Structure 1
Amino acid sequence: MLESFDAPLLPYFEYRYQLIRVHPRSLGEHCKWLDMFEDTDIVLFCVSLTDYDKYSVDRNGVLTNKMLASKELFKSIVTHPTFENKNFLLILNKFDLLVEKIEQVPLTHCEWFRDFKPVVSPNCHNSTYPSLAQRASHYIGMKFNELFRSLTDNKLFVSLVIGLENDTVDEALRYAREIIMWDEEEKAYSSCSSLENDL
């Protein structure tokens, strides 16, 4: 799906976004179609927060944890030459479903999350204390951030989304536009600084 939308933050730029659903099986060593995205400013990578205990069959016919499959797909995209030095926004989706699920199914069902040991406080019913779902989503974001930092020198941006709530999706897209704006401003500032140094 290719669409244009107005970007009030940057009135002189027209943004285009393209939504592509990629199955891990479609990424192999000879995945040349990713080269089409060399002009991409930002990659939005979506992960379902509730996939930590779900399984699917990988391209070799092996039953694989879906969160681990997302992790491997993330590594493949981040390390692909087309996306070198590109901005990445990790979208953690289905937070509303995680709120219900995390109370019944521990995050440690996924071997990548075996070290998740949230501290239980007597004040856990206090509205200012983060819920178990909030701590779990923060932890998942940190795990992806650690992975990202081990693969690149860039910063990983993270946004929490409830896919069926348009406001949270719009907020994530606004955040993506702001990241692009920051990047453009930084490039412009670097160009000016280098020009001043040349003078």
Structure 2
Amino acid sequence: MDIVSPTAEGVVVAFGDSITDGYASSRGTYSRWPDFLGRRLGAEPGGQKLSVVDAGIGGNRVLTDVPNLWQGVSALKRFRSDALDQPGVKYVILFEGINGIGSGADPNGAPLTAQHLIDGYLALIDEAHAVGVRIIGATLMPNEGNAYGGYNTPAAEAIRQSVNTWIRTEGAFDGVVDFDQATRDPARPAALNPAYDSGDRLHPNDACMKAMADAVDLHLLRN
């Protein structure tokens, strides 16, 4: 069921993995970053103009399928159905890539590089632009010291840094949300701010989810 308010102008799709899906946020309280973003948009003068759809799937990767049912096919395969086919979609905030870095492999089983992820982002950007949807890129959050194996290596961190630099500087996206900068520990920039840590040094708590939503420049959603 789609409910359209008199002030409605479109939909923002938050497209990502377990962080967007809300893993480790408080259950039943609508404390995911897309929920906080929706409330920010609803509080703007003139009534709710943009709604937010949460298209996060835990464990999801940009380039490769995950070999189980609940983590789903790759972002490349599900982007149209889960994002671009949403009624009224005008914007997508793409926040995904850390699970591919953690897995360490590209679609052919070769070691993952930053360029592999960048090529995936470019494919998603082209797909969005082909149907007139603006796509905003979000930098990958810090996770030093996490307990998830391949996510917590010097090679993985080097890829994350390279990808974030590309997102910030290349200009391929229609805008950038710097979740990395908003959530890092000022004393250890490769680590999540302890005030924002749910306990595993990778997934954000409720306070972090709000900080992420607050990091979205709403002017990016007015073009």
TM-score normalised per structure 2: 0.47
Report whether the alignment pairs 1:157 with 2:157: no
Q: Deviations over 1:42-91 (max 9, x none)?
A: 31322329938x52251xx4424164432222111111135755141413
Cα distance in 1 between the residues matched to 2:177 and 2:132: 16
Q: Is the 8 A contact 2:92 2:136 kept in 1?
A: yes
Report whether the alignment pairs 1:88 with 2:108: no
Give the partner amino acid of 1:182.
Answer: H
Q: Is the 8 A contact 1:47 1:91 kept in 2?
A: no
Query: How many residue pairs end up in the alignment?
Result: 148
Deviation at 1:39, TM superposition (A): 0.6
Cα distance in 1 between the residues matched to 2:154 and 2:119: 23
Report whether the alignment pairs 1:16 with 2:16: no
Aligned residue for 1:24, secondary structure, equals coil
Identical counterparts, % of pairs: 5
Cα distance in 1 between the residues matched to 2:52 and 2:94: 13
Q: Deviations over 1:133-176 (max 9, x none)?
A: xxx84x542222344x2x45x33232114442312232112323
Structure 2 unaligned blocks of 5 or more: 1-20, 23-29, 65-73, 184-191, 193-201
Cα distance in 2 between the residues matched to 1:168 and 1:31: 26
Q: Which of 1 and 2 has greater Rg?
A: 1
Flag the 1:57–1:77 CA change in 2: closer, same or farther, 3 A.
closer
RMSD (Å), alpha carbons: 4.3
Report whether the alignment pairs 1:56 with 2:56: no
Q: Is the 8 A contact 1:92 1:141 kept in 2?
A: yes
